[in-house]
Amino acid sequence: MPSADAESSMGRGRGAADPASAGGPQPAQRPGERAVSVLWSFGKCLATLLPVYLAGYFGFSISLVLFGLMIYMGWKHSRLEKVMRLKSAMYLLENEIEFTTEKVLRTKRDLPPWVNFPDVEKVEWLNKILQQAWPFVGQYLEKLLVETIAPSIRASSIHLQTLSFTKVNLGDKAMKVVGVKAHTEHDKRQVLLDLYVSYAGDVEINVEIKKYFCKAGVKGIQLHGKLRVILEPLIGDVPLVGAITMFFIRRPKLDINWTGLTNLLDIPGLNAISDTMIMDAIASYLVLPNRLTVPLVADLHVAQLRSPLPRGVVRIHLLEAEELTAKDTVIKGLIDGKSDPYAVLRVGTQTFTSHHVDSNLNPQWREMFEWFSLKDVSSGSVHLRLEWLSLLPSGARLSEVIQRNQNLTSKTADPPSAAILAVYLDRAQDLPMKKGNKDPSPMVQLSIQDTTRESKTCYGTNSPVWEDAFTFFIQDPRKQDIDIQVKDDDRALALGSLTIPLARLLDSPELSMDQWFQLENSGPASRIYIKTVLRVLWLNEDATPTTPSPRPSGAGIGVGHGGITSETGAGGLGGGAKPQPSRPQHTTPDPEFATEGVLRIHLMEAQNLIAKDNFMGGMVKGKSDPYVKIRVAGMTFRSHTIKENLNPIWNELYEIILTQLPGQEVQFELFDKDIDQDDFLGRFKLSLRDIISAQFMDTWYTLNDVKSGRVHLVLEWLPRVSDLPRLEQILQYQHQQSYQNKVVPSAAVLFVYVERAHGLPLKKSGKEPKVGAEITLKSTSNRTKICERSTSPRWDEAFNFLVRDPRDETLTVKLSHSWGQALGSVVVPLREVLGQQGLVLDRWLSLEGALPESQILLRVTLKILDTQLAVCRNPSDDVGGEEGEHVIPKWDPSHLDLRHRPGFSVPGDHASVVAQVKLSIGYSIEESRLYITVHSCRSLAACSKDGADPYVTFTLLPDKKGATKRKTATKKRDLNPEFNERFDFDFSLEESTQRRLDLSVKNSVSFMSRERELIGKLQLDLDQIDLKAGVTQWCDLVAETN
């Protein structure tokens, strides 16, 4: 980037050239000016070489010179980028209509801010007012900086007594409001406005400190953000609005182009630090929860407007994460290591950091944070538990809340908060004077337990007005106090103190006090005006789910999704002599409990795999040693390896418990086992949604990304029934089956919900235990969380197991203190569950090896896994037969061909599988346009030995000029391609219904190629589709015929 001097010299050069271009003679340069120019060039060269000379003279390493050169180049590059960003933004704002009309609208993705939407309104009239008033805003800012701010800065330090603003110019580019959204439905006494602000200005402000010959400044600023403006309260007198409150909902985007000495802030490394510090300073005043409030009338409670009482509190439990990326790798990633993860939660200006877990890709934090409720709080692949705590203006349920909080599990030192306290610090009067009868500069320190907040400082007055607000989380209001210290700004001179027990608030109406308080250790008339409001944090369990889905285990997968609550039984924490009758008699699991399903995958065989073990550079063809990897829901299964076989037969069975989530897929990959690195033999993936819809699939699947190969699978989404007679038929079938991986098919799935326990024994030391429960079925074991010290713990956790034979298996639940001292156990034979109505056992069970009153509340649900393969009905047996049913014989490799399998109609090799294309077609009323999305194709016919290079092209008929012709990208060597491309058409709804979709799937071929080009066609009348609702479906393609 040229310097300012260079720019000015360039400007002079251009100015000098103008007369010459106009035909006038160019004035000759004076000898003195030529001498100064030569000396200036010589000085710059000398300044460039001087660091190299000094480094050699003092014996420094050349690396210092190279390091300085690297810093200089980084600074120059960073500064050039910043200037280019500023110029681009200014150009875009100046030519917005032209740019968006010619370029942006062609992509049909974005619309300019001057396009009107029902939600966000255009305010060009406001932008015209801002543009017209911008020079006068600059005059006001110059007057403010020169006459008010500069004298204050000079008076604050002796080193800044020569500071002055040499230039203040806001430039010609005014701030723009690109859209406004009004909210009037929340509160009738206020108006909420969301202003989308964009500013890319040529502002120039220069500062000089003559004493130190320092010059600094700003030349160009970018600011983009969403500013919320609240007009409240609305009053029945002029100016109709009591105050204006402004804040950014999120941190705005800020970019500053520095000049002078502050150019150093553009050095790489410093630029990020400086930008962060500036944004933190802005956020401390203007980013939620901080607000800037401007009162328009007198006698307003500004502090309450600046920090209103929240509507509720969000409590976030950071529980765990799964399958994190290993970052601590060895030998440049050849050997995978682990990571030391920690989590950072940001809300507005608040940041919470968890502790780090060493060497763990599946860490568990079990930590808890609290803050005011904000929108758009995102989460990644971590397990969070969210609780919405409403604010109660009464202390009637305080004891219940405190008792419940003592059972919440957390690694933090303090228990969860039971209440929230808002302190509105208004003013003080008649504070004592300093020595020499000088006015003090008072500030206030408010402390509750270990938390201390400070107010702003009011300089030179003994009757300060602060109008500040503070918020504290309270663990037990019955035992905590507010300590208020009024001090001088040097924090050494105490001007008064006050202690308010929070128990006084519990006896006050609506848990609030609004009054003057007499200060202690102060003057006789010294007093302070404070308003305090206490609210109890209450979790409404009737409206909140009480358990999450089960966590991923060896048998299945679950997704935690918020809402776990924890409370103690009515008997208290100590455990009574016997269970209280007020305890719930049945569990209250989440509605999603026991909704998981079971996917059964029968990996049968493969054919025509690629030979990877070649010899003599491929001249001698060998074979492969194939095996299969199956990935689903974060779990991976691997088949055994079959040596030297291009048509392997595996005959392996896999069963997985899955939660039905949108977008889940089952991925299959084939590899050739080698000594060093395994070779790739192909892949394909299936949508879990398609499997669930079909229930049963017995199909050959073509391998993708390879020349040849296909895999034979039998997939079944097992229905869950409670029909006990059906169990005998399923057990008879499964005992007749045998698989290479020695798996016995499951006959049922077991769901266990562990809610709570009661009356557990104390530890040997007499303290209450930290209780955890371990649930075991055969060799599969799962553990709950460990509750904090209590004899009546509550877990609210769910688990699931696959059951081979429920008549012979037994469920065991063991309780212990931190997985050490045993606290009791219970054994539940599954045969007992078979005798329950609906195959559900839900009650309190007595614990063995514990106290007589020790019990645990469980729900055990058994679901029988039905299968279409267990029994096939023979039509000839329906008349006069004994039962008309026969069990399919056990699997025999000689009957792999589906044409030989009884009871199923599967096309032979001569019958081709129907090719399909997946489309989404609909009409957007808001955008007034028709959209067509081409998602994917499947089962396309190969056009050569390498498969095909498919793409999709279509036209909306009638179309004489081909204006609606569209084409997707080409997918290389893929018979099941995925496109996911959307196409929009500016048609009315009536015009859209009159169109006919003419679609073709083609193979991309060269000009001289003899390969077949057309793969399949589709024609569809759009009047047959409900365009307003939209539709997504697979459509059959018609193959090319002669």
Residue pLDDT, tens place only, 789-820: 888 888 989 999 999 888 889 999 999 988 88
Average pLDDT over residues 708-733: 87
Contact 525/430 with Cβ under 8 angstroms? yes
Rounded to whole angstroms, the Cα distance separating 260 from 997 reads: 63
Determine the pLDDT at residue 951: 93
Average pLDDT over residues 968-994: 88
Q: Is the pLDDT of residue 138 over 60?
A: yes
Determine the pLDDT at residue 858: 92
Determine the pLDDT at residue 232: 83
Close Cβ partners of 156 (under 8 Å, ≥ 6 residues apart): none
**What b/e sequence results for 420-459 when a residue is b if at least 16 CB atoms lie within 10 Å of its CB, and e otherwise?**
bbbbbbbebbebbeeeeeeebbbbbebbbeeeebebeebe
Determine the pLDDT at residue 13: 39
Determine the pLDDT at residue 999: 93
Close Cβ partners of 769 (under 8 Å, ≥ 6 residues apart): 760, 761, 762, 763, 789, 790, 791, 817, 818, 821, 823
Q: How confident is the model at residue 946 (pLDDT cuts 50, 70, 90)?
A: confident
Could you check whether the bond before residue 745 is cis, i.e. omega within 30 degrees of 0? no
∠ at Cα 224 (222, 226), nearest 5°?
160
Q: pLDDT tens digits for 350-366?
A: 677 777 777 766 666 65
Q: How confident is the model at residue 217 (pLDDT cuts 50, 70, 90)?
A: confident
Contact 633/664 with Cβ under 8 angstroms? yes
Rounded to whole angstroms, the Cα distance separating 241 from 237 reads: 8
Could you check whether the bond before residue 589 is cis, i.e. omega within 30 degrees of 0? no
Average pLDDT over residues 845-859: 89
Chain-wide mean pLDDT for the chain?
77
Return the biggest CA–CA distance within the chain. Answer: 127
pTM of the model: 0.40
Q: How confident is the model at residue 96 (pLDDT cuts 50, 70, 90)?
A: low
Determine the pLDDT at residue 599: 92
Average pLDDT over residues 153-163: 79
Q: Is the pLDDT of residue 581 over 80?
A: no
Q: How confident is the model at residue 682 (pLDDT cuts 50, 70, 90)?
A: very high
Average pLDDT over residues 829-857: 89
**What b/e sequence results for 60-84 when a residue is b if at least 16 CB atoms lie within 10 Å of its CB, and e otherwise?**
eeeeeeeeeeeeeebbeebbeebbe
Give SS3 for 644: coil
Rounded to whole angstroms, the Cα distance separating 397 from 511 reads: 13
Helices 62-94 + 31-57 axis angle, to 10: 130
Sign of torsion, CA 607 613 617 619?
Answer: negative
Q: How confident is the model at residue 234 (pLDDT cuts 50, 70, 90)?
A: confident
Determine the pLDDT at residue 126: 87
Q: How confident is the model at residue 856 (pLDDT cuts 50, 70, 90)?
A: very high
Backbone phi and psi for residue 1020, each to the nearest 5 degrees, phi listed first: -145, 125
Q: Is the pLDDT of residue 558 over 80?
A: no
pLDDT above 90 covers a percentage of the chain that reads 15
Q: Is the pLDDT of residue 561 over 70?
A: no
Determine the pLDDT at residue 820: 86
Q: How confident is the model at residue 876 (pLDDT cuts 50, 70, 90)?
A: very low
Q: How confident is the model at residue 878 (pLDDT cuts 50, 70, 90)?
A: very low
Q: How confident is the model at residue 928 (pLDDT cuts 50, 70, 90)?
A: confident
